[in-house]
Chain A
Amino acid sequence: MKILLVEDETLLSDSIRSALVQEGFSCETALSFQEAREKLADKIYDIVVLDINLPGGLGFDLFGDIQSMDSHPGVLIISVRNSLDDKLRGLNLGADDYLVKPFHLDELLARIRSIIRRRYPQDSEELVYHNLSYDLATNQVRVNGQELKLTHSQLRILYYLLVNKNRTVSKESLSDYVLKDDIDMVDSFDYIYTHIKNLRQKLKKEGCEVSIVTMYGMGYTLKKSDGN
């Protein structure tokens, strides 16, 4: 997967780039409107991560170049602009998603993955891990083909853990992903803890081979149970 990162802030651009590279994407950066235009004309990309406020022009104006490409890349807008108008404008122009700065890198990666999934559907629209499967189209969770009833928050927690399987997910990024703007309405760690407790019980009850393991001081990981 080739990603073009259009972001004028060098420091931010570097960080996002290394995160993307760590995830195994090949990533090129453009630091200005002109540079982005040249790169878009030169090469073929699968995903364009696009900032709106650029030296030399608005990111919105790059959509012409993006749409004229044969590969029809997916577009994820990252912007400081938070108004509904800007979001609608971006989505109407053909962007797949809109992420407001500042964002968590995990959130960015999750969004990019979901764009890839939508753009390039693989054999199944499911995230499968042992006998646990997550249907992305319908947001249904099955254990051994048996549907599991989960609340919205539990679904989000499970999705986030599944996407980051075998990696430790910090409580912060998890609560940030699940609660988003509501993060300081409740004791977010307690909230996450309660939901994870319930989720564990549900998974165990249905005989799931996968369990949520607490990594002390670091967060949670989705792992195959040891069998007990």
Chain B
Amino acid sequence: MAINQYSKRFITKIKKVYVVALPILLVLTILFNNLVIDFYYKVIYRNRFKAQAEEVVSYVELTGSFPKTEGVSYRPLPPDTKPYSYFEYHFFDVVTVDSDFWSILFFNQHLNNKRIKEFTTTAKIKNRWYELKITKIELNEPGGPENEAVWFAVAFSLILFFLLNWGFFQFNLNRVSYNLWRPFYQNLRRINSYHIRNKEPLQLKDTHIREFELFNQAILDFTTKTQSAYNQLREFTENTAHELQTPLSILLAKVELILKRTSLESENRKELLDIKKTIVRLSGIHKGLNLLSRIRSIQYAGNIEKKEINLNELVRESLETYEELIEYRNLTVTLQADTPVLLSTNEELVRILVDNLLRNAVQHNVNQGEITISLTSRGFEMSNTGSVVEGRTEDLFARYHTKSTDNGRLGLGLAIVEAICETLDFHCAYAYQHSQHVIRIHWQK
């Protein structure tokens, strides 16, 4: 699969968001900056000046004389005036600056403005009313109020900018993890539910993100290769299983033909019988392999025929099959089943499963041993006495895969049980409890 040419890198996807978001944030900050400057002049700066002016007024009222300072003027008022006070703020140019492009750009004109603040109030001195006018002229120069306002505004704007940015980042993080990672998680779910036995190859969703696409491609390559290797192996096993049969048949027939000859010496006959025994053993292993490969191919095909079956009946039938062997070995069989267990599943496979387990329980039992089968609606359990299994018991299934004892049939038998459980989505477990071998099969109701 070629990488989609429209797929972008993950970082690009995130960058795109910021390209839109940052100008908006900047505009917001600039607007806020103006608000802050406005607030500074109208509230903070005004109040400070007012406090200075009030100090002057209280000095006047206390001493009864007017200070000879610049910016303080007074005039007497008629005696019946009511007291008042107001605040005025004037802008006017003191220095004329050429209003060319550069001075506009660098606020030259504005920076060289002169502004006059006036605080007008009334004061009563020696029973006479006076109007006091306190004026302050300011030039924009270092250390002046303009500078302070700028610092003030910059500090607040920065805080706002960081807050907005942080908020946006949080929001974006959620959005990114939701939108951009969503296809990733969808694909992850697909990979998790994928099994190499499936007939269908793994299919992944287009993510439109380069890194994810690269990763998907690597995974697809990997699974395709593994799947084809698995299929080759599966087919090989199937073919081998089939092709072994004919030579085995020929061997068996030939040996039997020779054995039918009466002229045979008894020593030769014994050798031939050994050969025949080996052939029979081989054909037993082969039958198991054949069954295993057939289960695998049912698994591979994926459509498992299901029908309602009565498990109690099935177990009873299976017990009947081994009745004589059980009798021969003097085994005590207990079947615990309170209610009929009905299960919708593949009859043939469950039959093989039950047969294999029972066969296993009979074969690896001791004489005068016990077999207990208990059936419930959630699963069934088969326990039997038998020789103690040495070493770790959890990997009994795996152990027999590698170490085929006596004749190879047991290892295969358990492999078959496992394969059937896998095919039918049963869960199977082995335990050694109360000196009994217990195999539990569970299923979802």
Q: What is A's interface to B at a CB cutoff of 8 Å?
A: 9, 11-12, 15-16, 18-19, 22, 80, 82-84, 101-106, 151-153, 170, 172-173, 176, 181-186, 191, 194, 217-218
Q: Are A82 and B328 interface neighbours, CB within 8 A?
A: no
User: When the two chains form their complex, are residues B246 and A9 in contact, meaning their CB atoms are under 8 A apart?
Assistant: yes
Q: Does B376 contact A (CB under 8 A)?
A: no
Q: How far is the CA of A151 from the CA of B269 in the complex (A)?
A: 31
Contact assessment for B260 and A19 in the assembled complex, using a CB-CB cutoff below 8 Å: yes
Contact of B257 among A15, A103, A176 (CB under 8 A): A15
Does B252 count as interface, using CB distance less than 8 angstroms? yes
A184–B284 touching, CB < 8 Å: yes
In Å, the complex CA distance between A217 and B251 comes to 21
A11 to B270, CA, bound (A): 24
Kindly supply a per-residue 1/0 record for chain B positions 320-363, scoring 1 wherever the CB is within 8 Å of any chain A CB and 0 otherwise.
00111101110000000000000000001000000000010011
- Can you list 5 pairs linking A and B with CB atoms under 8 Å apart? A82-B287, A152-B323, A173-B256, A181-B287, A182-B359
Q: Is the CB of B266 within 8 A of A186?
A: no
Main secondary structure of the interface of A (DSSP, over half): helix
Give the residues in chain B near A101, CB-CB below 8 Å: 245-246, 248-249
Listed residue (A16, A102, A184) with the most chain B CB atoms within 10 angstroms of its CB: A102
B35 sits at the interface (CB 8 A): no
B259 at the interface (CB under 8 A from A): yes
In the complex, what distance in Å separates the CA atom of A172 from the CA atom of B283?
Answer: 14
The complex places the Cα of A182 from the Cα of B318 at a distance, in Å, of: 13
What is the number of residues of chain B that contact chain A, defined by CB distance less than 8 Å?
A: 43
Pick the residue among A11, A191, A218 that contacts B328 (CB under 8 A): A191
Contact of A172 among B257, B266, B273, B407 (CB under 8 A): B273
What A residues does B259 contact at CB under 8 A?
170
The reply to whether B407 and A170 contact each other, CB–CB distance below 8 Å, is: no
B245 and A102 contacting across the interface, CB-CB below 8 Å: yes
Residues of A within 8 Å of B327, CB to CB, are 151
What's the least CB distance linking B300 to chain A, in Å?
14
- Chain A residue numbers with a CB within 8 Å of B270 are 217
A106 to B290, CA, bound (A): 24
Q: Report the separation of the CA atoms of residues A170 and B260 in the bound assembly, to the nearest whole angstrom.
A: 10
Taken together as a complex, chains A and B put the C-alpha atoms of A103 and B273 apart, in Å, by: 15
Shortest beta-carbon distance from B321 to chain A in Å:
8
B363: chain A residues within 8 A (beta carbon)? 184-186
Q: Are B324 and A151 in contact (CB under 8 A)?
A: yes
19 more A-B contacts (CB under 8 A) besides A15-B253, A82-B290, A172-B280? Answer: A12-B250, A15-B256, A19-B257, A80-B242, A82-B287, A83-B294, A101-B245, A101-B249, A102-B252, A103-B249, A104-B252, A106-B256, A151-B324, A152-B323, A176-B280, A182-B322, A183-B280, A184-B409, A191-B325
> Which 8 A-B residue pairs are closest in the complex by CB-CB distance?
A15-B253, A80-B245, A102-B249, A102-B248, A101-B249, A185-B363, A105-B256, A12-B250
With an 8 A cutoff between CB atoms, is B279 at the interface? yes
Residues of B within 8 A of A172 (CB): 273, 276-277, 280
Interface-central residue, A16, A19, A184, by most chain B CB under 10 Å: A184
| Chain B residues within 8 Å of A12, by CB | 246, 249-250, 253
Cα–Cα, bound, A16→B252 (Å): 11
Task: Give per-residue flags for B252-290: 1 if the beta carbon is below 8 A from chain A beta carbons, else 0.
Answer: 111011011000001001100100110111011001001
Indicate if the CB atoms of B279 and A102 lie closer than 8 Å: yes
- Bound CA–CA A170/B250 (angstroms): 19
Q: How far is A33 from B279 in the complex, measured between Cα atoms in Å?
A: 29
B249 close to A217 (CB less than 8 A): no
Given contacts A80-B242, A101-B248, contact A183 B284 (CB under 8 A): yes
Q: Please tell me if B100 contacts chain A, counting CB pairs below 8 Å.
A: no
Q: Which residues of B sit under 8 angstroms from A22, Cβ to Cβ?
A: 260
For B88, list chain A residues within 8 Å (CB): none
**A185 x B287 contact (CB < 8 A):** no
Residues from chain B with a CB closer than 8 A to the CB of A16 are: 253
Does B406 make an interface contact (CB < 8 A)? Answer: yes
Contact for B252 among A80, A103, A181, A218, CB less than 8 A? A103
Least Cβ–Cβ distance between B48 and chain A, in angstroms: 100
CA distance A82 to B252 in the complex (A): 18
A171 to chain B, nearest CB (A): 8
Once the chains bind, are A11 and B322 in contact (CB under 8 Å)?
no
* Chain B residue at smallest Cβ distance from A23: B260
Q: Check A11–B254 contact: CB distance below 8 A.
A: yes
Q: B291 at the A/B interface (Cβ < 8 Å)?
A: yes
Q: How far is the CA of A151 from the CA of B335 in the complex (A)?
A: 23
Query: Complex formed: what's the CA distance from A15 to B406 in Å?
Result: 31
Task: Mark out the residues of chain B between 157 and 171 whose CB falls within 8 Å of any chain A CB in the assembled complex.
Answer: none
